[in-house]
Chain A
Amino acid sequence: MTRVVVADSLTKRFGSVLAVDGLSFVLEAGTITGFLGPNGAGKTTTLRMLLGLAAPTSGTALLFDRPYAELEDPALRIGAVLEATDFHPGRTGRDHLRMLGQAAGVPDSRVDEVLRLVELADAGRRRVKGYSLGMRQRLGLAAALLGEPDLLVLDEPANGLDPEGVRWLRDFLRAFASGDRTVLISSHVLAEVAQTVDQVLIISRGRLVVESSLEDLTSRVGGAVRVRSAQPERLVAALAHEELKAIASGDQALVVHGASSERVGEIAFAAGIPVHELVTEGSSLEEIFLELTAEGES
């Protein structure tokens, strides 16, 4: 696999604050990675170091085997959006793209192409101050796409988008990464990117706390199912037969770990045991996320 991004012990200190603390990770070609953490965890600072906007206090970040600033015309390989607001309000969206494109030798025809791609063709000749937040987000994305990059780095792209915008973005990113292209997308809300990404990096207080595939993370979800039955002893036996351990939880209720509510229900049904209550307890994906990032803070 091609290693598109290699961060090695990235560290950034602002005065006495260690914003990013020895962060190391690798992104391989063709992956969509969610870069997650609460606000202030060091996500944006990390992205700025990857992109050569900020110098690491120590450590290195390589994109396509070189530091960003040493790439020849990096915009032709890497597209990045750090802020949804990086526009001069008095400039038209199209001129914003043209001025960036000219610096990378991108022709105006490509400018019109990306404007169509992000559905801003009609608004391109209007000044940005008249754009909605969603339009600005898409204009930023258009700028990142100008050079037909193989790697897309987006900082909180779903911030302020309405549900329709979030869905548009998700569909777009999936289509983008369907080839061998790579996406790194940061967010402080796991649920926002859970349907888009295939792996996650979770950081807290500048440190990496989880590096995992989304599947592994999801398998931690719904760890417990609470089931209440008039015949708890029989249910315990039926579950044990399926190698599931049930713990009595008073009032004829049992708590089962390691199975979905559907599975527990089916086992009870197959054994002919009436069930009075069946609920998934404990962690949703978001709760796991909060738990993990809280661990990093303790």
Chain B
Amino acid sequence: MIRQVKAELLKVRSTRTTIGLLLGMIALILLFTLLTGLLATASSFAGAENQRQFFSLSDLAGVFSALAGVMLVASEYRYGTMRPTILFTPHRSQVLAAKTAAGALAGFAFGVVGAAIGWALGYTILTGRGITIVLSSGDISQLVLGGLASVALWGAIGIGLGAVIRNQVGGVITLLAWGFVVNPLLFGLLPSVGRFMPSYAGDALVGLTTNHLLSPTVGGIVLVGWTALLAAAGLALTAKRDVG
């Protein structure tokens, strides 16, 4: 199993897809942090919740981590490498488990890079503008650790989604539509349901206190639940389907 995870991590590293997604994430985090940090009024950084919102970049990083996960599965179908992959590891559950682990590890790396850049730049800008950071060390560690956990889980969610959909374009569109359209719509219209969507479960996990959000613990459990659900669905379908 360790061998399979190593193989999957090599797949992640050996094409330009991952580095492209990583650069995309860095660019968006820089853009968001610079624009918000420099242009927003000082009053919009007043209070802990506003500062938490500013520093919670895991949604942004999570999208890219999930995209990397989708690609790690879908590109194998796209380019036919799933055939040799399964010939070398015929137990498909092992292939998928290794991919889930690799997706989570890659996601964790995305989270570390995103957090390092977001915090360094955000902190510099706020202190440079003379805004006092009012977050406690507990707030900060929850933002950072919860963020890392959620970005890593997003990577694993991407693997499950990719295994269910298999098609590269279909997987990417589904992910973006789900994350950016379905989740916010549901949360806006039916918050009692919408808060169980992974984006909002992730918000709860990093300690945001927006109305209707779940508690951090429940948010974390819900996010793990989504990961498990998609992994199970992906496995059930992968085990059943013939490889073309």
Interface residues of B in 212-244 (CB under 8 A from A): 242-243
Q: Which residues of A contact B243 (CB under 8 A)?
A: 48, 53-54
Determine whether A148 belongs to the interface, using a CB cutoff of 8 Å to chain B: no
Interface contact B79-A87, CB-CB below 8 Å? yes
The CA-CA distance from A24 to B15 in the complex, in Å, is 42
Is A83 positioned at the interface, with any CB of B under 8 Å from its CB? yes
Q: Quick check: which of B82-90, B158-166, B177-185 contacts chain A, the rest being far away?
A: B82-90
Q: Are A99 and B86 in contact (CB under 8 A)?
A: no
Q: Which residues of B contact A98 (CB under 8 A)?
A: 10, 14
Question: Are A83 and B80 neighbours in the complex by a CB distance under 8 Å?
Answer: yes
Q: Are A54 and B242 touching (Cβ within 8 A)? A: yes
Contacts of B80 in A (CB 8 A): 83, 85-87
Within 8 A of A (CB), among B61-105: 75, 79-81, 83-91
Q: Which of B1-9, B117-125, B189-197 contacts A (4 or more CB under 8 A)?
A: B1-9
A90 touches B17 (CB 8 A): yes
A75 within 8 A of B: yes
Do B16 and A102 have beta carbons less than 8 Å apart?
no
From B6, B84, B90, contact of A52 by CB (8 A): B90
Is the CB–CB distance between B7 and A99 below 8 Å?
A: yes
Within 8 Å of chain B (Cβ to Cβ): is A165? no
What is the chain B residue whose CB lies nearest that of A86?
B80
Interface size bracket, B side: 20 to 34
Q: Which residues of B contact A68 (CB under 8 A)?
A: 90
B36 to chain A, nearest CB (A): 34
Q: Digit string of A69-90 for contact with B (CB within 8 Å is 1, else 0)?
A: 1110011001010110111111
Are B84 and A143 touching (Cβ within 8 A)?
A: yes
A211 CB within 8 Å of chain B: no
B218 → A minimal CB distance (Å)? 37
CB contacts (< 8 Å) of B4 on chain A: these are 103
Bound CA span A83–B80, Å: 8
Chain A residues near B87: list those with CB within 8 A.
Answer: 51-53, 74-75, 78, 80
Q: Is the interface of B mostly helix, strand, loop or mixed?
A: helix
A227 and B224 CA atoms in complex are apart in Å by 84
Measured between beta carbons, the chain B residues less than 8 angstroms from A105 are 3
CB of A89 within 8 A of CB of B242, answer no
Task: List the 3 shortest-distance A-B pairs measured between CB atoms, nearest first.
Answer: A86-B80, A54-B242, A95-B14
A-B contact pairs, 29 of them (CB 8 A): A48-B242, A51-B87, A52-B86, A52-B90, A53-B83, A53-B242, A54-B243, A69-B90, A71-B90, A74-B87, A75-B88, A83-B80, A85-B79, A87-B79, A87-B80, A87-B81, A88-B79, A88-B81, A91-B14, A96-B81, A98-B10, A98-B14, A99-B7, A99-B10, A99-B11, A102-B10, A103-B4, A104-B89, A105-B3
Check if B3 sits within 8 Å of A103, measured CB to CB: yes
Total A-B Cβ pairs within 8 A: 80
Query: Is the C-beta of A92 less than 8 angstroms from some C-beta in chain B?
Result: yes
Cα-based distance from A143 to B83 in the complex (angstroms): 12
Of B7, B79, B84, B242, the contact of A102 (CB 8 Å cutoff): B7
Chain A 188-213 interface mask (CB, 8 Å, partner B; 1/0): 00000000000000000000000000
- Which residues of A lie under 8 Å from residue B91 when comparing CB positions? 69
* A102 with B3: CB separation less than 8 A: yes
The residue in chain B whose Cβ has the minimal distance to the Cβ of A54 is: B242
Q: Is A55 an interface residue (CB 8 A)?
A: yes
Besides the contacts A75-B88, A105-B3, what 10 more A-B pairs have beta carbons closer than 8 Å?
A48-B242, A52-B90, A69-B90, A86-B83, A91-B14, A95-B14, A99-B11, A100-B85, A102-B10, A104-B88
Task: Find the B residue at minimum CB distance from A14.
Answer: B242
Contact with B along A96-112 (1 / 0, CB 8 A): 10111011110000000
A102 to B98, CA, bound (A): 12
B88 touches A103 (CB 8 A): yes
Chain A positions within 8 Å of B242 at CB level = 48, 53-55
B88 CB contacts on chain A under 8 angstroms: 74-75, 100, 103-104
A87 CA / B75 CA spacing, docked (Å):
10
Identity of the chain B residue whose Cβ is nearest the Cβ of A92 in the assembled complex = B14
CA separation between A130 and B81, bound complex, in Å? 17
Contacts of A88 in B (CB 8 A): 15, 75, 79, 81
Bound form: Cα–Cα A80–B88 in Å: 10
